[in-house]
Amino acid sequence: MDSPLFHHEPEQMELPLKVKLGTFEGPMDLLLYLIKKNEIDIYDIPILVITQQYLEYLEMMKNLNLDIAGEFLLMAATLLHIKSKMLLPPSEQEEGEGEKEEEDPRAELVRRLLEYQRFKEAALQLTKGPLLDREVFVRSFFGETLPEKEGEDEISGEASLFGLLEAMKKVLEGLPAEEFQEISVEQLNIKDKILHIMERLWEAESVAFTELYTPFTPRREIVVTFLALLELLRLRMIRVFQGETFGTIRIFSPVGPEEGRKTIEERIL
Amino acid sequence: MEDIQSKAILEALIFVSESPLNLDRMKEVLGGVNKRELQRLLAEMMEDYRKSERGITLVEVAEGFQFRTRPEFGEWIRRLKKVKTAALSQPSLETLAIIAYRQPVVRMDIEKIRGVDSGGVLRTLLEKKLIKIIGKKDVPGKPIVYGTSKRFLEVFGLKDLSDLPTLKDLDSLGPPSMEGVLPLEEEKGEGEAIPEEESKVPENQEAQVDESSSEASEDPL
């Protein structure tokens, strides 16, 4: 274990993968990195060198199958634009714009870089002080309880066989009853459901909304039933009443069986 | 009222307060004490706590006063509470810093500085309640305006926004867009030293970039 070889090996193995690309959050980050790496004066960026290196990085990212966000490409375009601007003789440029064009083409970029760097630094400053819930704490007022000492529960006494059985029973009781159902491909359609609902209404005068469903009603049927109700409401074949908010919804039908069947036949496909 | 008694009452009030207790509330409860008097008492209390080297200190934070544990004891408390300190990622911190110094600010302003999409980060910060929506800007599209929350002051232990560390000054390269910057008064005549500092800027800042990128991932919040 103490052999120096052993310690060196992993490092060597990591070498080819030592690409720190993941750490660049964006083009600004990458540019700052390049500037630092090349020990460049940020106020006098050799745009040719930086552009070239920047593009090389993009190429590398592409080779690594990393998604290159649009922002990286935008920055590449900006760099190339600056580069081309710097190649042009300054005096030849649009005279109409006058002095504005005299500004160093890099100035805007430098300003942005400095600004970005300033905030990066500010972010760092923010985390330097003692932070709440990191170094300093306050009393908690919302019933937050301290975590139990781990494992305390299990060792509070030896469990007897009966204790175990009791626990097992509790677990089984907690499970929902086993259900055996015949699985059939039901052909549900709204028309059948409508007839079904109406027949129940003609028999019983009124039906509670909840009576239309049982706990075993399959989801598909729940949906179809609901659609049927909506359709019936639209056709004014049913009326629904609710006594109080969240109270029982009762469904009535103002239409008799004869008239009802006729309407259903005519109006519902 | 005797100072000692007033202090004891203040101590009790601060003790039971869920969030930093501000002077107005103290004045309201105590009655007949002016703010200056309160400030003097509180300053003395803070000093008392500091001197007595207890586990708890009285601090001025988020425009109020609060009892907090001493930073040195963080490790013990973390052991007790078994808290895993959720780290704020570098993008989150950056964005938070921009909002802190530039507020009120819209998403576009943030993205202009960061150069990357910041929607996700903003959502995270909102979820963590470190920033809040202040309103909508009255320009086409009515973009949402963000600012830092009271929680932000509490977490970072700031008295108020003017307590933020001063941002390094921007240089002479054209007009920097400073119009939105918070009133960060140059303290102790720092402003005069600008020309000298300027020449140092590149090196300093580069050095710090390195720190920030390497530290960021493990910097817990």
- Domain containing B156 equals 86-182
Tell me how many domains chain B contains: 2
Of B178, B184, B149, which Cα lies nearest the Cα of B164? B184
Q: Please tell me whether residues B172 and B92 are part of one structural domain.
A: yes
Residue B213 inside a domain? The answer is: no
The Cα of B56 is separated from the nearest Cα of chain A by a number of Å equal to 9
For A120, which of B74, B117, B212 is closest by C-beta distance? Answer: B212
pLDDT tens across the length of chain B (221 residues): 688 999 999 999 999 998 999 999 999 998 888 899 999 999 999 999 999 989 999 999 999 999 999 999 998 998 888 776 667 888 899 999 999 999 999 999 999 999 988 999 999 999 889 999 999 999 898 999 999 999 999 999 999 999 898 876 544 333 334 444 344 333 333 334 334 444 443 444 443 434 444 434 444 44
Helix (H) or strand (E) segment spanning residue B145: strand B144-148
Q: Please tell me whether residues B69 and B34 are part of one structural domain.
A: yes
Residue B25 inside a domain? The answer is: yes
Domain boundary residue, one of B37, B54, B80: B80
Give me the mean pLDDT over the A46-67 stretch: 85
Distance CA A245, CA B186 (A): 61
Residue B68 inside a domain? The answer is: yes
State residue A19's pLDDT score: 45
Q: Please tell me whether residues B126 and B51 are part of one structural domain.
A: no
Distance CA A84, CA A209 (A): 74
- B119-124's contacts with Cβ under 8 Å and 24+ in sequence apart are B121/B89, B121/B91, B121/B92, B121/B95, B122/B95, B122/B146, B124/B89, B124/B92
pLDDT band at A170 (very low <50, low <70, confident <90, very high): low
Cβ of B91 within 8 Å of Cβ of A25? The answer is yes
Q: Please tell me whether residues B108 and B170 are part of one structural domain.
A: yes
Interface of B with A in 19-58 (CB under 8 A): none
Is the pTM of the predicted complex or chain greater than 0.90?
no
State residue A202's pLDDT score: 86
State residue A160's pLDDT score: 52
ipTM: 0.72
pLDDT digits (tens, 9 = 90+) for A122-145: 998 888 888 998 889 998 776 555
Q: Please tell me whether residues B23 and B66 are part of one structural domain.
A: yes
Nearest CA in chain B to A126: B156
For B82, which of A71, A121, A147 is closest by C-beta distance? Answer: A147
Q: What is the CATH number of the domain that holds B55?
A: 1.10.10.10
State residue A163's pLDDT score: 58
Mutant choice from A132, A145, A149, A150 vs B, greatest count of B C-beta within 10 A: A132
Q: Coil, helix or strand for B61? A: strand
Contact A115, B113 (CB under 8 A): yes
Q: Which residue has the higher pLDDT, A63 or B182?
A: A63
Cβ of A110 within 8 Å of Cβ of B173? The answer is yes
State residue A174's pLDDT score: 63
State residue A101's pLDDT score: 53
Q: Please tell me whether residues B141 and B169 are part of one structural domain.
A: yes
Give me the mean pLDDT over the A19-34 stretch: 74
State residue B186's pLDDT score: 37
pLDDT digits (tens, 9 = 90+) for A175-204: 666 566 666 666 678 888 888 888 888 888
Q: Please tell me whether residues B99 and B144 are part of one structural domain.
A: yes
Q: Please tell me whether residues B178 and B109 are part of one structural domain.
A: yes
Q: Please tell me whether residues B103 and B176 are part of one structural domain.
A: yes
Partners of B136 in beta bridges:
B144
Cβ of B173 within 8 Å of Cβ of A33? The answer is no
Q: Please tell me whether residues B75 and B126 are part of one structural domain.
A: no
Kindly list the domain boundaries of chain A, sorted by start residue.
Answer: 4-91+100-126, 190-267
Give me the mean pLDDT over the A72-92 stretch: 85
pLDDT digits (tens, 9 = 90+) for A212-266: 877 777 777 777 888 888 888 888 888 877 766 666 777 888 888 888 888 888 8
State residue B215's pLDDT score: 39
Q: Please tell me whether residues B92 and B143 are part of one structural domain.
A: yes
Q: CB-side exposure of A199: number of CA atoms within 13 Å?
A: 6
Angstrom CA distances, A198 to A105, A139, B38, stand at 79, 62, 76
* CATH code 1.10.10.580 for A190-267: yes
Q: Please tell me whether residues B95 and B121 are part of one structural domain.
A: yes
Residue B187 inside a domain? The answer is: no
